[in-house]
Structure 1
Amino acid sequence: MPEMRFVIAWPDGREETCYSPSLVIKDFFEEGRTYPIREFLDLSRKALTIASDRVEAKYGYPCSLARGQLARIETAGALFLNDAEARVRCQSFIL
């Protein structure tokens, strides 16, 4: 199963390299595009859940790394939920 990383920039400018066990991330995010924080969190949940489900379908157990990445994204994103202007940028994909 091809894994990938994707680099994001949080609203405060901090960059983070995130992990996905599947290329499905590319179906949800576009390099160089910015997303309102709530949309970014929603898309992250969907994409990383699908990625984990793909691992489970192939190996019989969900991907703990994808679940952990989603937890980190949700924790970091929660800091910006009260800012209606907060946006997250998908910087790049690393295959």
Structure 2
Amino acid sequence: MPEMRFTVEWPDGMRTSHYSPSLVVHDFLVTGERYPVADFVSRTREALDIASERVRAAYGFACTSAAASQAEIARAADGHGTGEVVVLAMEPPLPAVPA
């Protein structure tokens, strides 16, 4: 199962990096885009829930690293009630689609 990391910048300039056991985060976030804090938390919660369930389907248990990423994001968001989160990078990127 491919895994990924995504790096974001919070409204105060703090940068954090988070893990996902699945590339599904690409379905919820776009590199370079800005998301209101609450929207970012909601999007990442849904993406990481899906990623964790994919691990459960493949291995029989949920991904504790995805849960840890959710907790890190929630803690960071508590200090940023307003403003926007910028997605700085998602690694690996999605493969280019041939024209």
Q: TM-score range by the shorter chain?
A: over 0.9
The sequence identity of aligned pairs, in percent, is: 42
Aligned to 1:28: 28
Cα distance in 2 for partners of 1:58, 1:52 equals 10
Q: What are the ranges of 5 or more consecutive residues in structure 1 without an aligned counterpart? A: none
Aligned to 2:55: 55
Cα distance in 2 for partners of 1:7, 1:68 equals 15
Q: Which has the larger radius of gyration?
A: 2
In the TM superposition, residue 23 of structure 1 has moved relative to its aligned partner by: 0.1
Query: After superposition, what is the alpha-carbon deviation per residue over 1:8-65, rounded to whole angstroms, capped at 9, x for unaligned?
Result: 0011111111100000000000000000001000001100000000000100000000
Residue 23 of structure 2 aligns to a residue whose secondary structure is: coil
Q: What are the ranges of 5 or more consecutive residues in structure 2 without an aligned counterpart? A: 93-99
In the TM superposition, residue 80 of structure 1 has moved relative to its aligned partner by: 1.1
In the TM superposition, residue 94 of structure 1 has moved relative to its aligned partner by: 1.2
Aligned to 2:86: 89
The count of corresponding residues between Structure 1 and Structure 2 is 92
- Please tell me the root mean square deviation across aligned C-alpha atoms, in Å: 0.7
Moved over 6 A (4+): none
Q: Under a length normalisation based on structure 2, what TM-score does the superposition of the two structures give? A: 0.90
Cα distance in 1 for partners of 2:17, 2:71 equals 14
Q: Under a length normalisation based on structure 1, what TM-score does the superposition of the two structures give? A: 0.94
Cα distance in 1 for partners of 2:43, 2:85 equals 12
In the TM superposition, residue 3 of structure 1 has moved relative to its aligned partner by: 0.2
